[in-house]
Amino acid sequence: MNIASVIVDVPAKQTDREFDYSIPDKWINVVKPGMRVIVPFGPRMVQGFVTGLKNETELKKLREIKEILDLEPVLNEELLRLGNWLTDETMCFRITALQAMLPAALKAKYEKVLRIHEGRKELVDERVRAAFRDRKFISWKDVLQEDNAALFQKQVQKGNLEVIYYVKDKLNKKTVRFVEPLLTSEELAQYAGTLAASAKKQYEVLQFFIENPGKIQLRTLLEAVKASNGTIKALAKKNILAERDEEIYRDPYENRVFDKTSPFKLTEEQSAALRPIQKSIKENSHDVFLLYGVTGSGKTEIYLQAIDAVIKKGEEAIMLVPEISLTPQTVKRFKERFGEQVAVMHSGLSIGEKYDEWRKIHRKEVKVVVGARSAIFAPFENLGVIIIDEEHESSYKQEETPRYHARDVAIQRANQHNCPVILGSATPALESFARAKKEIYQLLTLSKRMNNSQLPQVEIVDMREELRAGNRSMFSENLFAKLKDRLQKGEQTVLLLNKRGHSSFVMCRSCGLVINCPNCDISLTYHRFNDSLKCHYCGHEEDIPKTCPECGSDHIRFFGTGTQKVEEELVKILPEARVIRMDVDTTSRKGSHERLLNRFQEGHADILLGTQMIAKGLDFPNITLVGVLSADTMLHLPDFRSSEKTFQLLTQVSGRAGRHKLAGEVVIQTYTPEHYSIELSGMQDFDAFYEREMHIRRQSLYPPYYYVALINISHEDLMKTAATTEKIAKYVSAGLSPEAMVLGPVASPISRIKNRYRYQCLIKYKREPQLKQLLRTLLEHYQQETAQNHLQISIDLNPQIMM
């Protein structure tokens, strides 16, 4: 086996295949599938993944693997297979799939630098030589910044300058400096006696080691003896002490003590739900369970006990949680139960921290991973269970390539490992519930809350009537009265507003002009924080115009309501209330999410005001009121799931109230109280909602009755975009069976982003075995135009959002 098949890190259609490399003799039996290597590719060096080994190839001449990056494969056999499955399933490049399964730290960085060719210094153009005066290497990137790039290029052509291609790891292993004595305590004491009288600090350090033998972290030592680095250095120089850097894990949860908890006693309902899961774990059978339990019904305890059973069996568990509810509170529950056996993975960690958590899994130092979507790729080898909490959450679908859904990956992996999958939710995705009803999934139901607490009382307030009654504020009489009441009682309130920023848009009252983003077809949002207008899509930022750019009038006004504005309003009407605002703006800094929640939990605030991110996972006993300021914001989005999303959000947020001893109340403000998703979420009646929504889906031919695939096309030129989409729609339509429907072309809901026009067409189908092949041919056909970046085509099978 002296030839390796390698997938190179060049995400392009033409390079999306294996390339063969010969393995240098010294590395035969060292190189294994799943390892990262550096290989020459054309004139440069690139990173690649070894996918297989073989003895023969059709090629006459092979180039050699230049370097091996891993001691152990980073992808095991199962994950390599999963990579192929992902590639096929999401129609991405193989390299993209492989990289998606690994932490970002393992992705290569490339650098191209120039150096004067040895012995040719005199031949180099003097202007170029001048640039090299104070350095040996010049980065090609820097050369391009300057206006004499051509000069350098010529020198390269002449062979006077050498081009070196670097492949660097993003990988940084964190090290900490340790100090340890090289002598025994007796020898140290003896030596201390010989020290000069002036070397007081050195004497103290030696005393320290006599009392505390063994290695110690340098920083701790310096603090303990109040010495400086120089003292240690001096002793090290005399070979009394040794300094050494040791690799450590960054522990995002260091300095935190988790009290060990034991399994709670389950209610009868919980036990009944856990039993079939345990059976499946015991028998290694690949079952998919849908754990359908109302908010507060104790799903987490079932997860914990299922994981416990898996650990006892010597196997491993993956626990997926939506990104926004991966709160310290959630993590705590798992750390408390399983202690050091838990790794945590979420976007709040730095690249290095994520890498360290990943390594704990890779080195089999942990048994459980709790994480967001990408944790589904945790490199465990004996999976015993995969759990997806809040399985309906759209964040389980990755919105960039590879566009995978963690639920599908979970089922695929569990199939390979012969282990069960548990999908949990109080408001399952329609697709999942339908599958449970068809007995593809096993339905487990929890209909009662724990602690015997009742589901909260929900009141729906018609804001149109409030307006008619002369109340123009954003709080209805009812909600305001209840807010005041809680304030008096010292109980807490959660207020949900599904919009960030201050106002949703800025308009001129004289001519009606709405200030739009110059690059995107979307209105700019006012941000009070720096008093500016911001585009949420391309990041464009500008000052608020003093006068209307269209008509010159100064009647510029803010419309719509954002969390910032509500906060200001609260200060006005309830000045005594202490408010914590949580949205993307206040939680962008690392750990701020946690800090705000802690403050709320500890009772330093009366009202928690926030966007969607507060709807999940909060479990605070003192919350007795939940207010939804405007339930309809999501309802009118151009998306066939908008009713489902609205129902889920309202039901979830309602579930935050009255989870413990105190009873909870919910006030939902809306302009469309008659809408079934609002009405039924008020009754917390998922089953009725399911029936109602399924009926609509059947009539309108949407999932779960039909599959959908979305093709997005973008181009700088509007006509070209429309024309190409038209052609694509025709082509797809012709290639599919008559039962399939192709809708469009239509302009995307946001018809322009970053100066590119966007069109889409939607395919609805039941069974089209040739669909993927057809789409692949389509991509191939436009390959040239997409390679030149004029045209972008993205295909999303089972899209979660229609933008």
Which listed residue (29, 57, 190, 228) binds DNA by CB under 7 A? Answer: 57
CA-wise closest residue to 82 among 404, 421, 343: 404
Site string for DNA, 740-779 (x = CB under 7 A): ----------------------------------------
Smallest Cα–Cα separation from 741: which of 771, 776, 772?
771
| CB closer to DNA out of 44 and 599 | 44
If one asks whether residue 781 binds DNA (CB under 7 A), the answer comes out as no
The residue within the footprint of DNA, chosen from 71, 150, 196, 197 (CB under 7 A), is: 150
Minimum CB distance to DNA, residue 358 (Å): 26
Give the separation between CA 360 and CA 354, rounded to whole angstroms: 10
Helices H / strands E in the chain, number of each: 25, 33
When the beta carbons of 336 and 785 are compared against DNA, the nearer one is 785
14 binds DNA (CB under 7 A): yes
Report the alpha-carbon distance of residue 210 to residue 241 in Å, rounded: 12
Distance in angstroms (rounded) separating the CA atoms of residues 587 and 594: 9
40 touching DNA, by CB under 7 A: yes
Is 92 assigned a ligand-binding role in the annotation?
Answer: no
Omega of the bond prior to 402 within 30 degrees of 0, cis? yes
| Count of residues interacting with DNA (CB under 7 A) | 28
* Closest distance of CB 13 from DNA, Å: 7
538 labelled as ligand-binding? yes
The one among 172, 382, 415, 784 contacting DNA by CB under 7 A: 784
Alpha carbon distance 741, 319 (integer Å) = 37
CB 42 → DNA: shortest distance, Å?
Answer: 4
Sheet with 791-797, side-by-side order of all strands = 741-753, 756-765, 707-715, 791-797
- When asked if residue 250 is in the footprint of DNA (CB under 7 A), the reply is no
The C-alpha R_g of the chain, in whole angstroms, comes to 31
Task: Write the single-letter amino acid at 142.
Answer: D
Task: Determine the Cα–Cα distance for residues 611 and 165; give it in Å rounded to an integer.
Answer: 46
User: What part of residues 69-88 is at the interface with DNA (CB under 7 A)?
Assistant: none
Task: Give the one residue of 36, 38, 41, 91 binding DNA; rule: CB under 7 A.
Answer: 41
Sheet containing strand 44-54, strands side by side: 18-22, 3-8, 44-54, 36-41, 67-68
Of the pair 58, 247, the CB lying nearest DNA is at 58
Of the ranges 12-20, 27-35, 70-78, 716-724, which one interacts with DNA (CB under 7 A)? 12-20
Q: Which of 2, 27, 32, 44 binds DNA (CB under 7 A)?
A: 44
428 preceded by a cis bond (ω within 30 of 0): no
**Nearer residue to DNA within complex by CB, 57 or 285:** 57
Among residues 107, 112, 540, 781, the one that binds DNA under rule CB under 7 A? 112
Residue 63 in the binding site for DNA (CB under 7 A): yes
Q: Is 11 in the site for DNA (CB under 7 A)?
A: yes
Helix (H), strand (E), coil (C) string for 324-379? HHCCHHHHHHHHHHHHHHEEEECCCCCHHHHHHHHHHHHCCCCCEEEECHHHHHCC
Name the residue nearer to DNA (CB basis): 20 or 381.
20
Q: Which is nearer to DNA, 18 or 308 (CB)?
A: 18
CB 377, CB 400: distance < 8 Å = no
Annotated ligand binding at 535? The verdict is yes
Distance CA 441, CA 296 (A): 23
Does position 789 interact with DNA (CB under 7 A)? The reply is: yes
Q: Among 467, 573, 696, 787, which residue sits at the site for DNA (rule: CB under 7 A)?
A: 787
Q: Which of 110, 229, 531, 552 binds DNA (CB under 7 A)?
A: 110
Q: Is 15 in the site for DNA (CB under 7 A)?
A: yes
Tell me the residue length of the chain.
803
- DSSP secondary structure letters along 249-318: ---TTTT-------PPPPPHHHHHHHHHHHHHHHTT---EEEEEE-TTS-HHHHHHHHHHHHHHTT-EEE
Cα–Cα distance measured from residue 87 to residue 104, given in angstroms and rounded to the nearest whole number: 19
Round to whole Å and give the CA distance between 425 and 300.
11
Q: Which of residues 674-703 bind DNA (CB under 7 A)?
A: none
8-state DSSP, 797: E
Query: Which one of 68-76, 422-430, 581-589, 781-789 is the stretch in contact with DNA (CB under 7 A)?
Result: 781-789
Nearest CB to DNA, comparing residues 145 and 788: 788
Smallest gap from Cβ 24 to DNA, in A, equals 12
Candidate ranges 14-22, 429-437, 548-556, 699-707; the one touching DNA (CB under 7 A):
14-22
- Find all residues with CB under 8 Å of 147, minimum gap 6, and list them: none
Return the number of the residue (95 or 668) whose C-beta is nearest DNA: 95
Element (H, E) at 775: helix 771-781
511 labeled part of a ligand binding site: yes
Cβ of residue 5: shortest distance to DNA, in angstroms?
Answer: 8
User: 586 Cβ partners below 8 Å, 6+ apart?
Assistant: 592, 596
Cα–Cα dist 365/343, whole Å:
9
Taking the complex as a whole, the smallest distance from the CB of residue 151 to DNA amounts, in Å, to 9
List beta partners, residue 210. none
Q: Could you tell me which stretch among 16-24, 566-574, 617-625, 764-772 binds DNA (CB under 7 A)?
A: 16-24
Sign for the CA dihedral angle at 301, 303, 309, 311 comes to negative
SS3 content of the chain, % helix, strand, coil (to 5): 40, 25, 40
Name the minimum Å distance from CB 57 to DNA.
7
- DSSP state for residue 614 in the 8-state scheme: G
**Contact predicate 727/781, CB 8 Å:** no
419 is in an annotated binding site: no
Among 20-28, 167-175, 176-184, 339-347, the segment contacting DNA (CB under 7 A): 20-28
List the structure tokens of 299. 């799903």
Query: Which residue number, 598 or 784, has a Cβ lying nearer to DNA?
Result: 784
Phi, psi of 380 (to 5 degrees): -75, 155
Nearer to DNA, 8 or 570 (CB): 8
Taking contact as CB under 7 A, which single stretch among the options 41-49, 118-126, 265-273, 484-492 is the one that binds DNA?
41-49
Task: Give yes or no for residue 491 binding DNA (CB under 7 A).
Answer: no
CB of 789 vs DNA, minimal distance in Å: 6
Residue 43 near DNA by CB under 7 A? yes
Output 21 or 355, the one with its CB closest to DNA: 21
In contact, 548 and 554? CB cutoff 8 Å: yes
Cα dihedral value 282, 288, 294, 298, nearest 10: 20
Residues 163 to 202 in contact with DNA, rule: CB under 7 A: 165
Minimum CB distance to DNA, residue 784 (Å): 6
158 binds DNA (CB under 7 A): no
Q: Compare residues 149 and 224 and give the one whose CB is closer to DNA.
A: 149
Applying CB under 7 A, the span of 39-47, 273-281, 289-297, 646-654 interacting with DNA comes to 39-47
Pick the piece of the chain touching DNA (CB under 7 A) from 38-46, 273-281, 381-389, 695-703. 38-46
Using CB under 7 A as the binding rule, whether residue 59 contacts DNA is answered as: yes
Name residues whose C-beta falls within 8 Å of residue 383's C-beta, 6 or more positions apart in sequence: 315, 316, 317, 318, 413, 414, 417, 419
Residue whose CB is less far from DNA, 158 or 464: 158
Largest CA distance in the chain: 97
Q: Which stretch binds DNA (CB under 7 A): 6-14, 196-204, 323-331, 449-457?
A: 6-14
Residue numbering of the annotated binding site: 508, 511, 517, 520, 535, 538, 548, 551
Residue numbering of the annotated binding site for Zn(2+): 508, 511, 517, 520, 535, 538, 548, 551
Q: Which residues bind to DNA, rule: CB under 7 A?
A: 10-12, 14-15, 19-22, 39-44, 57, 59, 62-63, 110, 112, 150, 154, 165, 784, 787-789
